[in-house]
């Protein structure tokens, strides 16, 4: 009998070890369960409404003005402003706008050089008249006088591949300079080249041997002359390649 009582006491003690502290178990009633089920849809709808509101709020982007707008009466006007805003506010950002401005500036500079070269060729101000050398390439047998007798398009086609490679190398060096230099000094010990960072390419080569004061008026004049030069060289090449394609009288 004593042994049976001891065994029963041990079993009771072991069972009590697995009962939560406080020895009380909360049994949910049918009323509380119904209340929770009624409140759950309302909570879910509120959370969904907050998520929709967060998604519908657009992220405001700063409008980036295009430098170089022509000063007309009533203020500067820029043709194509809507497309410019799409580039900077819808398709990109302020950094995108500066990259596009730098690209336009460099294309304008190239076009201005092309206009000068094209005009010099047409007016006869070529190397066969001013250079002490007769040949552009003695190994290829290309003379300056032969190039002057051709049209500008035919003349560039007659330049040997070595000459075109030299032109490409000069352009590549200028591009590498802009990518790797900042404020006229090479950027060292940096993980990313200055030109590959946002706002890195801006067309400023920091090359000013005449120490000209850079003002907004001079910048405006340069970019507008570059735009005019791009139209000009396009028209000249079209008129030279397809006679009569440009219905304007040219001085040659």
Gap between the Cα atoms of 218 and 107, Å rounded: 17
Asked whether 123 and 105 are in contact (CB, 8 A), the reply is no
- Which contacts (CB < 8 Å, 24+ apart) does range 135-144 have? 136/160, 136/163, 137/162, 137/163
Gap between the Cα atoms of 212 and 218, Å rounded: 10
Whole-number pLDDT of residue 91: 86
| Residue 67 tokens, joined | 């430098």
User: Tens digit of pLDDT for each residue in 95-150?
Assistant: 888 888 889 999 999 999 999 999 999 888 899 988 889 999 988 899 999 999 99
Q: Give whole-number Cα distances, 65 to 61, 69, 126, 227, 236, in Å.
A: 12, 9, 42, 17, 31
User: Tens digit of pLDDT for each residue in 16-37?
Assistant: 444 444 444 455 555 555 555 5
- Record the pTM: 0.68
The alpha carbon torsion through 43, 45, 48, 49 (nearest 10 deg) reads -110
Exposed/middle/buried for 233, CB within 10 Å: 0-12, 13-18, 19+?
buried
Does residue 55 have a pLDDT over 70?
no
Whole-number pLDDT of residue 30: 54
Gap between the Cα atoms of 148 and 127, Å rounded: 8
């Amino acid at each position: 009998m004593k042994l049976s009582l001891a065994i029963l006491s041990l079993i009771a003690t072991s069972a009590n070890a697995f009962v939560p502290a406080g020895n009380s178990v909360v049994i949910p009633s049918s009323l509380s369960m119904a209340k929770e089920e009624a409140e759950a849809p309302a909570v879910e709808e509120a959370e969904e409404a907050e998520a929709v509101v967060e998604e519908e709020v657009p992220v405001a982007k700063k409008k980036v003005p295009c430098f170089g707008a022509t000063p007309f009466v009533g203020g500067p006007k820029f043709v194509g402003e809507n497309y410019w805003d799409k580039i900077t506010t819808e398709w990109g950002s302020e950094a995108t706008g500066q990259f596009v401005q730098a690209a336009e500036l460099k294309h304008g500079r190239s076009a201005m050089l092309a206009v000068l070269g094209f005009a010099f060729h047409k007016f006869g101000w070529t190397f066969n008249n001013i250079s002490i050398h007769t040949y552009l390439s003695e190994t290829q047998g290309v003379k300056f006088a032969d190039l002057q007798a051709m049209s500008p398009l035919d003349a560039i086609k007659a330049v040997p591949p070595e000459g075109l490679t030299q032109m490409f190398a000069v352009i590549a060096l200028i591009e590498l300079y802009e990518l790797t230099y900042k404020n006229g000094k090479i950027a060292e010990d940096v993980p990313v080249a200055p030109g590959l960072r946002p706002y890195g390419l801006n067309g400023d080569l920091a090359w000013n041997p005449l120490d000209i004061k850079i003002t907004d008026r001079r910048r405006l004049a340069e970019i507008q002359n570059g735009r005019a030069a791009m139209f000009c060289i396009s028209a000249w090449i079209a008129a030279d390649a397809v006679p009569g394609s440009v219905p304007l009288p040219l001085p040659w």
